[in-house]
Structure 1
Amino acid sequence: MTPSKPSQDSANYLFLVLPRFALLWVCILLIPISFFFKIWWLLFITVCLTCLGIYNINQKRHAILRNYPISGHIRFLFENFRPEVRQYFIEGDREEVPFSRLQRSIVYQRAKDVDSTTAFGSLNDLSKPGTDWFLHSGRSHKISDHNFRVRIGNERCSQPYDLSVFNISAMSFGALSAAAIESLNKGAKQGGFAHDTGEGGISPYHQKHGGDLIWQLGTAYFGCRDEQGKFNPETFVQRASLPQVKMIEIKLSQGAKPGKGGVLPASKITEEIAATRDIPMGIDCISPPTHPEFSTPRELVHFWQRLRELSGGKPVGFKLCIGMPWEFMAIVKAMIEEDNYPDFIVIDGAEGGTGAAPVEFMDSVGMPLVDALIFVQNTLVGAGIRDKIKVGVSGKVISGFDIAKLMGLGADWCNSARGFMFAVGCIQSRSCHTNKCPTGVATQDPARQKALDVPDKSRRVANFHQNTLKALAEIVGCAGLNHPNELMPHHIVRRQPDGWIKLLSEHYQFIDSGSLLTGNCGRRVLDDMWKLADPNSFQAMTIADEIVDAQNERTRAHQEHCT
Structure 2
Amino acid sequence: MDQILSFLSSIPWWGWILLILVIIAINDVLFNRKHTIKHNFPVVGHLRYFLESIGPEIRQYLVANNREELPFNRRERSWIYASAKNENNYEGFGTDQDMYSSHYIFVKNSILPFKLPAGHPNQKNSGLIPCAKAMGTYNNRKRPFRPASIINVSAMSYGSLSAKAIESLNEGCKLSGAYHNTGEGGLSPYHKKGADVVFQIGTGYFGTRDEQGNFDMSKLVRLVQKNPQVRAIELKLSQGAKPGKGGVLPAKKISKEISEIRGVPMGKDVLSPAYHSAFGSLEDMITFIEEIAAATGLPVGIKAAIGNLDDWHTLAGIMKSKNHGPDFITIDGGEGGTGAAPPSFADHVSVPWIYGFSDVYKIFQEYELTERLVFVAAGKLGFPAKAAMAFALGADCINVGREAMMSIGCIQAQSCHTNTCPTGIATQNKWLQRGIDIADKSMRTNFYFVKFRKELLQITHACGHEHPAQFTTNDIEINLSDKNLSNTLESTFGYTKDKVNFQSVTELVTCPHLGGNLDLKSLQITEDAIH
Shorter-chain TM range is 0.7 to 0.9
Quick check: 1:439–1:448 contact (8 Å CA) kept in 2? Answer: yes
Q: Cα gap change, 1:244/1:59 in structure 2, threshold over 3 Å: closer, same or farther?
A: same
Q: Kindly state the Cα deviation for residue 47 of structure 1 after the two structures are TM-superposed.
A: 4.4
Question: How do 1:103-502 and structure 2 match up within 5 A?
Answer: 103-143=76-116, 144=122, 145-150=126-131, 151-153=134-136, 154-163=138-147, 164-207=149-192, 209-241=193-225, 242-311=227-296, 313-497=297-481, 498=483, 500-502=485-487
Q: What's the secondary structure of 1:152's corresponding residue?
A: coil
Q: Kindly state the Cα deviation for residue 206 of structure 1 after the two structures are TM-superposed.
A: 0.8
Quick check: 1:438–1:448 contact (8 Å CA) kept in 2? Answer: yes
Q: Which amino acid aligns with 2:135?
A: I
Q: 1:233-258 CA distances to partner (integer Å, 9 max, x unpaired)?
A: 12111112211101100000000000
Quick check: 2:60–2:69 contact (8 Å CA) kept in 1? Answer: no
Question: What are the ranges of 5 or more consecutive residues in structure 1 without an aligned counterpart?
Answer: 1-31, 514-563
Question: What are the ranges of 5 or more consecutive residues in structure 2 without an aligned counterpart?
Answer: 117-121, 499-531
Q: Which amino acid aligns with 2:99?
A: L
Q: Which amino acid aligns with 2:150?
A: V
Aligned equivalents of 1:92, 1:157: Cα separation in 2: 50
Q: Kindly state the Cα deviation for residue 393 of structure 1 after the two structures are TM-superposed.
A: 0.8
Aligned equivalents of 2:266, 2:14: Cα separation in 1: 46
Quick check: 1:298–1:335 contact (8 Å CA) kept in 2? Answer: no
Q: Kindly state the Cα deviation for residue 331 of structure 1 after the two structures are TM-superposed.
A: 1.7
Q: What's the secondary structure of 2:474's corresponding residue?
A: helix
Quick check: 2:129–2:467 contact (8 Å CA) kept in 1? Answer: yes
Q: What's the secondary structure of 1:490's corresponding residue?
A: coil
Does the alignment pair 1:507 with 2:488?
no
Q: 1:343-366 CA distances to partner (integer Å, 9 max, x unpaired)?
A: 100000001221000000010101
Report the more deviating stretch, 482-491 or 394-403.
394-403
Q: Kindly state the Cα deviation for residue 308 of structure 1 after the two structures are TM-superposed.
A: 0.5
Does the alignment pair 1:66 with 2:34?
no
Q: 1:286-334 CA distances to partner (integer Å, 9 max, x unpaired)?
A: 31000000110000001111111121x1110000001211012222222
Quick check: 1:127–1:499 contact (8 Å CA) kept in 2? Answer: no
Q: Which amino acid aligns with 2:398?
A: C
Q: Kindly state the Cα deviation for residue 186 of structure 1 after the two structures are TM-superposed.
A: 0.4
Q: What's the secondary structure of 2:442's corresponding residue?
A: helix
Q: Cα gap change, 1:319/1:70 in structure 2, threshold over 3 Å: closer, same or farther?
A: same
Q: 1:55-77 CA distances to partner (integer Å, 9 max, x unpaired)?
A: 33313222222222322111110
Q: What's the secondary structure of 2:271's corresponding residue?
A: strand
* Residue in structure 2 matched with residue 102 of structure 1 by the alignment: 75
Q: What's the secondary structure of 1:247's corresponding residue?
A: strand
* Residue in structure 1 matched with residue 119 of structure 2 by the alignment: none
Report the more deviating stretch, 154-163 or 41-50.
41-50
Quick check: 1:345–1:392 contact (8 Å CA) kept in 2? Answer: yes
Quick check: 1:341–1:389 contact (8 Å CA) kept in 2? Answer: no
Q: Kindly state the Cα deviation for residue 142 of structure 1 after the two structures are TM-superposed.
A: 5.0
Aligned equivalents of 1:221, 1:211: Cα separation in 2: 22
* Residue in structure 2 matched with residue 13 of structure 1 by the alignment: none
Aligned equivalents of 1:296, 1:195: Cα separation in 2: 29
Q: What's the secondary structure of 1:345's corresponding residue?
A: strand
Q: 1:421-445 CA distances to partner (integer Å, 9 max, x unpaired)?
A: 0001000000001110000000000
Aligned equivalents of 2:473, 2:7: Cα separation in 1: 78
Q: Which amino acid aligns with 1:113?
A: N
Of Structure 1 and Structure 2, the greater helix share is in 1
Aligned equivalents of 1:36, 1:374: Cα separation in 2: 75
Q: Kindly state the Cα deviation for residue 512 of structure 1 after the two structures are TM-superposed.
A: 9.6
Q: Kindly state the Cα deviation for residue 35 of structure 1 after the two structures are TM-superposed.
A: 5.1
Q: Cα gap change, 1:55/1:493 in structure 2, threshold over 3 Å: closer, same or farther?
A: same
Q: Kindly state the Cα deviation for residue 84 of structure 1 after the two structures are TM-superposed.
A: 0.3
Amino-acid identity (%): 39
Larger radius of gyration between Structure 1 and Structure 2: 1
Number of residue pairs matched by the alignment: 479
Aligned equivalents of 1:346, 1:197: Cα separation in 2: 14
Quick check: 1:352–1:394 contact (8 Å CA) kept in 2? Answer: no
Aligned equivalents of 1:71, 1:35: Cα separation in 2: 29
Match of 1:55 among 2, 24, 27: 27
Q: Which amino acid aligns with 1:255?
A: G
Instruction: Please report the TM-score for the alignment, with normalisation by the length of structure 2.
Output: 0.87
Q: Cα gap change, 1:291/1:495 in structure 2, threshold over 3 Å: closer, same or farther?
A: same
Q: 1:152-171 CA distances to partner (integer Å, 9 max, x unpaired)?
A: 11233111111121000000
Q: Which amino acid aligns with 2:129?
A: F
Aligned equivalents of 1:287, 1:322: Cα separation in 2: 20
Aligned equivalents of 2:83, 2:270: Cα separation in 1: 36
Of structures 1 and 2, the one with the larger relative CO (CA 8 A, separation 6+) is: 2
Quick check: 2:241–2:345 contact (8 Å CA) kept in 1? Answer: yes
Q: What's the secondary structure of 1:375's corresponding residue?
A: helix
Across the aligned residues of Structure 1 and Structure 2, the Cα RMSD in angstroms comes to: 1.9
Q: 1:17-53 CA distances to partner (integer Å, 9 max, x unpaired)?
A: xxxxxxxxxxxxxxx9x95772365555444444433
Aligned equivalents of 2:247, 2:16: Cα separation in 1: 47
Aligned equivalents of 2:267, 2:435: Cα separation in 1: 26
Q: What's the secondary structure of 2:54's corresponding residue?
A: helix
